[in-house]
Amino acid sequence: MSSRHLMSRRTKNNCAVLACTLSAAAASMSHAAITQVDYSAVVANTTENFSGFASGGSGPRDTIVQGNGLSFGERFAGQQLGTQTIEFPGFYTGPYDVLSGSPTSALTLEAGSADRNLWIGDVQTLTGFVIAGCGPNGSAFGPGGLGHGSVAVLFDTDQSQLGFRIGGQNGSTGVVSFFRRDGSLIETLNLSLVGFIPGFTPDLTFGFLRDGAVADIAGFSITHNDFAGIYMDDFIFSSSVPAPGAIALFGLAGLAGRRRR
């Protein structure tokens, strides 16, 4: 075989390998996960800290709540609301919300029943006004009440990164699930809600980046098993996406990393 034919065959083989690599990178990115990062790593193009709700006073909200670039509800259409029980030995036993099932397309918020949806108000902390889910026992303070309900968040436009603050925790686990606009699941992550004295334990902050900076996070839902209940505040989010060349390099680097591991 002539050297010209050998070079031609090698060129074709190299092109085929490159095409397969790029295809694998694209597929990998389309199914990429979400990485938990420091809150400060999130680009805060849009924020919601509920200061605009102060004029309405503290209290339950029985409908979908529209914020700055995002809306809040109890769950997404298609998700089923259930309850589980948590026991704080020596003090009380109380219920809290759990979610199951998959959201339907297009991703749509649903509100809970009266006094069973959301609460916005001042919890007398340095953060000012906050939002919390109302548990099985409504918006009253106490077991299964304020802070023990699920919360669902729907963005006006798809995002690639986000963050939020959680307070009131007393050492528990949060479960946050991220969804695309068609209701498909991107990823579910467990959050460590470290704490020891409700109301005095410092708030926790969480940040999340979509691998490959893919802007397809349409919303997320969150539940937890904290006996003291939690509130949320200081939502930040952005749809910032790097240049196409950087995205391709990110995908190839990810493939190389997985091969090395």
23, part of any domain: no
pLDDT at 187: 97
Please count the structural domains in the chain. 1
pLDDT per residue as tens digits for the range 22-75: 444 444 444 549 999 999 999 999 999 999 999 889 999 999 999 999 999 999
Residue 160: name the closest of 50, 73, 37 by CA.
37
199, part of any domain: yes
Q: Read off the pLDDT of each residue in 78-89 and give the average, rounded to a whole number.
A: 90
Distance of CA 83 to the CA centre of its chain: 21
Residue bearing tokens 């528990």: 172
How far apart are the C-alpha atoms of 98 and 113, rounded to whole Å? 15
pLDDT at 92: 76
13, part of any domain: no
H helices of the chain, in order, are 3-30, 244-260
229, part of any domain: yes
pLDDT at 198: 53
Q: Read off the pLDDT of each residue in 145-164 and give the average, rounded to a whole number.
A: 98
Mean pLDDT taken over the chain: 84
78, part of any domain: yes
pLDDT at 87: 81
Domain enclosing residue 196, as ranges: 33-241
